[in-house]
Amino acid sequence: MNTPSLLNVDELSLVFRTRSGPVHTLDRVAFTLNDGEMLGLVGESGSGKSVTAYAVLNLLESSATITQGRILYRGADLLADAQAGKPSLRGKAISMIFQNPRAALNPIRQVGKQIADVLRAHRSITAKAAQEEAVRILATVKIPDPARRARAYPFELSGGMCQRVMIALALACEPQLLIADEPTTGLDVTTQAVIMDLLKNLARERGMATIFITHDLSLAAEYCDRIVVMHAGQIVECAPTETLFSGPRHPYTCKLIAATPQSDSEIRTIATVPGGLPDLSRTDLPACRYSARCDMHEAACDRAPLPLRSVGAGHSVLCWRVK
């Protein structure tokens, strides 16, 4: 038998119960992540990227119901484990960093102490040893003068420095998998590159797998080994990065790539595709959630279930029209 992949999200569907009815947020989301790999989860705002991450980390709010599918971590069923009351892997095998680091940090505790708190929650070490280890971790995320910065409060640090502290916190428990949800949004372009290079190098050194969530396809292309493209709660295409750019197959990916500026362009703009995401609370949501925006759409496209077609090595597309 093959060894199971690090993470396998298998046909995951998720509904939010709201006062105005169910919102069909995720539809048979499926992807795998291998050890040491950096996977880009790319899609425009509202496409379900964060909800997917929260599902993996068992961080969903109570109005969310998983209606179908499994999440396997090294073959172990995380959803079944959560139901059985087993502790989540969050903060142990799996860590997450968020878009707004300042909001995620405790504003009234020195950053070094916050890292030491995490260390002490996971290991039996003295307060002094934890504090020393915290300074060492701050050095690994390239914070200058880490012993002094360890005594700083979040408000005394820049956005880029706060994000480094968040990365340090996430690394403190030596996760196998890091989920970075828009970790550089809101940072200037130079700091963005510094943080992404740091993440990439740390992941490589530690053999840590990373899911990099972004709405910026060109940023994902720069750093990721493989990319999954998400649209309105569906994974429409998945491929190794080079394959995705040299031979995109899903009409949405084709449009996104055509609209993506060259990586050497001075001005960074985000690719957009005409039309908006469909209303996910509609009761007559079409099988293909891209159909209203699609130039190739025909009546036969509305048949369910939409086929996930393999079109090459590690390359799959969710579309009736792609053969």
Residue 251, contacted partner among ligand ADP, Mg ion, none, CB below 5-8 A by kind: none
- What is the 3-class SS of 70-87, one letter each residue? EEEECCEEHHHHHHCCCC
For ligand ADP, the closer of residues 45 and 158 by Cβ is 45
CA distance linking residue 166 with residue 162, whole number of Å: 6
What's the rounded Cα separation, in Å, for the pair 83 and 87?
10
CB atoms within 10 A of CB 83: 10
State the greatest distance between any 2 C-alpha atoms of the chain, in Å, as a whole number.
67
Report the SS3 class of residue 267.
coil
Least Å distance between CB 234 and ligand ADP? 12
By C-beta, is 72 or 277 nearer to ligand ADP? 277
Pick one of Mg ion, ligand ADP, none as the site partner of residue 28 (Cβ within 5 to 8 A by kind): none
Binding residues vs Mg ion (CB under 5 A): 50
* Amino acid at site 211: I
Residue ranges in 37-96 that form contacts with ligand ADP under rule CB under 6 A: 43, 45-51, 61, 63
Q: Does 22 bind ligand ADP (CB under 6 A)?
A: no
* Least separation in angstroms between CB 46 and ligand ADP: 4
The verdict on 285 binding ligand ADP (CB under 6 A) reads: no
Under the criterion CB under 6 A, does residue 289 sit at the interface with ligand ADP?
no
Residue whose C-beta lies closest to Mg ion: 50
- For ligand ADP, the closer CB: 250 or 289: 289
- State phi, psi for 116 to the nearest 5 degrees: -60, -35
- Continuous H helices in the chain: 49-57, 78-83, 101-104, 111-122, 127-140, 146-149, 159-171, 189-206, 217-223, 241-246, 251-259
The listed partner (Mg ion, ligand ADP, none) that binds 253, CB under 5 to 8 Å by sort, is none
- Residue closer to Mg ion by CB (options 29, 119) is 29
The two structure tokens encoding residue 317? 């597309």
Nearest CB to ligand ADP, comparing residues 48 and 112: 48
Q: Which residues bind ligand ADP (CB under 6 A)?
A: 16, 18, 23, 25, 43, 45-51, 61, 63, 280
